[in-house]
Amino acid sequence: MKHIHLMLFLFLVISCNAQIDKNSSDINLDHKNTMPFNPLTESEKRVILEKGTEYPNTGEYNNHYKKGTYVCRQCNQPLYTSSDKFKSNCGWPSFDDEIQGAVKRVIDADGRRTEIICSNCDGHLGHVFEGEQLTKKNTRHCVNSISLQFYEEGDKLPSTITSLETITLGAGCFWCVEVLFQKLKGVSHVESGYAGGKIKNPTYKMVCDGNTGAVEVAQITYNPSIISTETLIDIFYHVHDPTTLNRQGNDVGDQYRSVIFYNSDEQQIIAEQVTQKIKDSNLWDDPIVTSIEALYNYSKAEDYHQNYYSNNATTNSYCSLVIRPKVEKFMAKYSNLIKK
């Protein structure tokens, strides 16, 4: 995809920019620009965002047994009640149960432990262990105090702060897609990755060889109170050609197929509704071949693919001759949605 002969540059520039020239539906960004979560100190970021661990026997809630509720320090979601807290002598607050639906479990990359995260904001809490016979429930949530905030019984709990959401889009070369969505208000992070293939964690070479079925995708993390899922999907349909099967411009192969990978039933419904509106609008002359699928086998692409345009804009001819014109047209077309 990226090893392009000079004779193809003009063709690629035209094909990469043609989609943004299509008429788009009017998009209005009428949301208040608020921070999605509570501000965090550097120590809190190290644990909650970077999955660090506080030193044992140092946390404020390690030997804390007042009656009340423990909420997520980042988003205020209630996580644990004091009735489920017990003394384990492990050095960190321990709970043998969580408030239903408040905590998600994720297997660590090495497969040895199970991480626990807030189900609303994905903030790191700690790890969960089973089989230790410490309580009747035989479960220990080992939680960092710094990930929690306590509210005593009778106190009014704060409102849970709106969660960030993620949606994963395949629209051709992930270098091109990543840089466009990075520029939108309400989008906090865009990650280039692979999804929808036979295996998880394929390499770039494996994907390019065409044997994995994986798609080059941009995984977009956004605040739905600032930019809606409908808006993101509408933009998706205007920045690539959803009528070409397994192809975008000169990039050919199933890794370039047009696809929306949803992360919730609500996202699926929205994707289907927006897709139907696009079809009804006759924006494209040919039938749309975009598929709408539940996200599966997603993995982050290699580090050198991340922020590719930003890191290579002045040194890579593909960036300067193909991606840059597309970025310029995108920013002009969606000027009311672009970050200042």
Q: Is 90 a catalytic residue?
A: no
In the chain, the amino acid numbered 62 is N
173 tagged catalytic? yes
What is the rounded average pLDDT of the residues 133-158?
A: 96
User: Quick check: 322 pLDDT over 70?
Assistant: yes
Task: Determine the 3-state secondary structure of 275 from DSSP.
Answer: helix
| pLDDT tens, residue by residue, 174-198 | 999 999 999 999 888 899 999 999 9
Residue extents of the structural domains in the chain: 6-35+164-337, 42-152
240, 170 in Cβ contact below 8 A?
no
Residue among 16, 72, 121, 173 flagged as catalytic: 173
Average pLDDT over residues 98-116: 91
Closest by Cα among 17, 140, 145, 122 to 70: 145
pLDDT confidence tier of residue 22, bands split at 50, 70 and 90? low
Residue 6 reports pLDDT greater than 60: no
Mean pLDDT within 193-217 = 95
Mean pLDDT (the chain) is 89
User: What does the alpha-carbon distance between residue 260 and residue 267 come to, in Å, rounded to a whole number?
Assistant: 10
Fold of 42-152: 2.170.150
The catalytic position among 16, 72, 121, 142 is 142
Return the percentage of the chain with pLDDT > 90, whole number: 75
In this predicted model, what pLDDT tens digit does every residue of 264-287 receive, in sequence order? 999 999 999 999 999 999 899 999
What pLDDT, on a 0 to 100 scale, did the predictor assign at position 271? Answer: 98
Q: Give the tens place of pLDDT for each residue, 25-65.
A: 444 443 333 456 899 999 999 999 999 999 999 999 999 99
Is residue 5 pLDDT above 50, yes or no?
no
Query: What pLDDT score was predicted for residue 193?
Result: 96
Give the orientation angle of helix 9-21 with respect to helix 324-333, to 10 degrees: 10
Q: Which CATH superfamily is domain 6-35+164-337 in?
A: Peptide methionine sulphoxide reductase MsrA (3.30.1060.10)
Report CA dihedral (127, 131, 132, 136) to the nearest 10 degrees: 100
pLDDT band at 164 (very low <50, low <70, confident <90, very high): confident
